C-alpha cells in the first residue's frame, strides 16, 4: 500500500462510493450491498483467527490487511466517518490515563 494510511484508504473507498469506477472491487461490494459486505467482514475475521493459529506471521499480516480493508468498506457503507472510530479510541485512551496516571483514584 506504499505508506498509505488507513484514513487515506477510507477516503479512496468513500470516493469509489461517490464516483464508481469500472472494474473496482470496492464498487462490486457496494453494488452487492450490506449483507455481502458483512459476509466478507465475517470471512476475513475468521481468516485472521485461523492465520494466527498458524506459525507464519506473514499470513496474519495478509489477512489483517484484508480485514481492515473490508471493515473500512463497512464503515463507508454505514455512513460512519473514519474520525468517529479514532475519536472513540481517543476517548478510551483518556479513560485509561485517568485510571492509570492518577494513583489517588486507586484509594477510592
Binding site for ligand PRT (CB under 6 A): 9, 12, 16, 21, 24-26, 40, 66, 69
CB of 13 to ligand PRT, least distance (A): 6
CB of 12 to ligand PRT, least distance (A): 5
Question: Minimal CB distance to ligand PRT: which residue?
Answer: 26
CB of 106 to ligand PRT, least distance (A): 44
**How far is Cα 70 from Cα 86, in angstroms, rounded to an integer?**
17
Do the Cβ atoms of 66 and 37 come closer than 8 Å? no
- Grid-cell match 483467527, residue found: 49
Write the Ramachandran bin of 23: left for phi over 0, alpha for psi from -120 to 50, otherwise beta. left
- Decide whether 8 or 88 has the Cβ nearer to ligand PRT: 8
Total number of residues shown for the chain:
108
- Decide whether 20 or 94 has the Cβ nearer to ligand PRT: 20
Amino acid at each position: 500500500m506504499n505508506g498509505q494510511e488507513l484514513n487515506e484508504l477510507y477516503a479512496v473507498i468513500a470516493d469509489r462510493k461517490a464516483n464508481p469506477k469500472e472494474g473496482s472491487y470496492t464498487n462490486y461490494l457496494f453494488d452487492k450491498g450490506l449483507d455481502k459486505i458483512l459476509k466478507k467482514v465475517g470471512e476475513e475475521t475468521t481468516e485472521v483467527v485461523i492465520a494466527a493459529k498458524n506459525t507464519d506471521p506473514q499470513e496474519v499480516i495478509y489477512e489483517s490487511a484484508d480485514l481492515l480493508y473490508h471493515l473500512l468498506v463497512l464503515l463507508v457503507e454505514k455512513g460512519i466517518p473514519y474520525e468517529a472510530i479514532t475519536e472513540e479510541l481517543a476517548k478510551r485512551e483518556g479513560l485509561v490515563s485517568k485510571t492509570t496516571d492518577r494513583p489517588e483514584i486507586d484509594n477510592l
